[in-house]
Amino acid sequence: MAAREEVLALQAEVARREEELSSLKQRLAAALSAEDEPAPRVPVSPLPPKAALSRDEILRYSRQLVLPELGVHGQLRLATASVLVVGCGGLGCPLAQYLTPATALDLVRRYDVVADCSDNVPTRYLVSDACVLAGRPLVSASALRFEGQITVYHYDGGPCYRCLFPQPPPAETVTSCADSGVLGVVTGILGCLQALEVLKIAAGMGPSYSGSLLLFDALGGHFRCIRLRSRRPNCAACGERPTVTDLQDYEAFCGSSATDKCRSLRLLSPEERVSVSDYKRLLDSGSPHLLLDVRPQVEVDICRLPHALHIPLKHLERRDGKSLKLLGEAIQEGKRGAQEGAALPIYVICKLGNDSQKAVKILKSLTAIPELGSLAVQDVVGGLMAWAAKIDETFPQY
């Protein structure tokens, strides 16, 4: 009898707990749904007109007010001007998630000047088209490695971005700061020049680089200014008969995503790839294999897996004899450590899993190393950054 009562009590407790769990699941679903909803857009009201400068403003801006080119009139224009900055990293693109074709035009129309600091091609086309449709000048700057450039589009009859680049470049030819790096000071210099152009436009002084492009070389320490072509009469955006009358899907147009992150290539079949988790299990098992790191030396100097053989991708691409000999010797050494007749798999790794795929295709085509023909060659998906994220949190990410 006591056992029966205990069973009934347990069943009742289970039912109560299941009801409580169901309620918690509903609350969790509601919370996740609310989190996914985009934040409501706050309307941007125009700044009220300003008739005069206050005593404090005169003191604060006194060094500017005595400039005849600016004066009180220009400072008053600055006080009521609004500027939209697209990309608030060094010259990154964190605003791209908010700047979609559905919202960009409405957003751009609320501002007097737009500054494009994005680091990807789709966003540049999107911002340029939006500025043309909204009738706003666009101050555009970019930086890569030790170089930077700045120009002003769609100002006083000048060309827009599409006038210079009617069609986007092939996605595989485009590089970014995440791919090639950038010196932080270079973005700072270009950002200051960009702010200067924005201020001059807002104050009514006119820009310096409408119809021209300023190039900065940090290594050489010099600036160079070149003339750009004039506005194209047949430009799809700002021409005499424009065909771009609304914003479009720019990721589809450019064949790449609107992000400053590195693109993920898919050059190999799933059978030719291995996850970092699977590779970690193989490593822990002590199974003989060869790990080939194909990153440039400058990246290997940052961090590396100690058991990896380093041969840069460029050496494989040009079939460097010394590197191929080193690879052949490593394969022979690995085979001596394996059981007789056992295969020696080769795993290729890089930073993100792009160059490693290229290396696998090269290795499978090599005839200079006969041993490769009988070996399994795979790349590690996601590379060392996936290793750092999923396997070893202490491994540096860069």
Q: Which residues are catalytic?
A: 177, 350
Residues 6+ away with beta carbon under 8 Å from 145: 180, 181, 182, 183, 186
Measured between alpha carbons, how far is residue 294 from residues 187, 317, 350, 358 in Å?
29, 11, 6, 10
Query: By the 8 A CB rule, do 246 and 130 touch?
Result: no
Judge contact between 94 and 123, C-beta under 8 A.
no
Q: Whole-angstrom Cα distance, residue 14 to residue 231?
A: 74
104 burial class (0-12, 13-18, 19+ CB within 10 angstroms)? Answer: buried
CA distances from 210 to 152, 160, 200, 231, 242 (A): 5, 10, 12, 11, 21
The torsion angle over the Cα atoms of residues 183, 189, 192 and 198, rounded to 10 degrees, is -90
Burial of 94 (0-12, 13-18, 19+ CB in 10 A): middle
Question: What is the CB neighbour count within 10 angstroms for residue 179?
Answer: 15
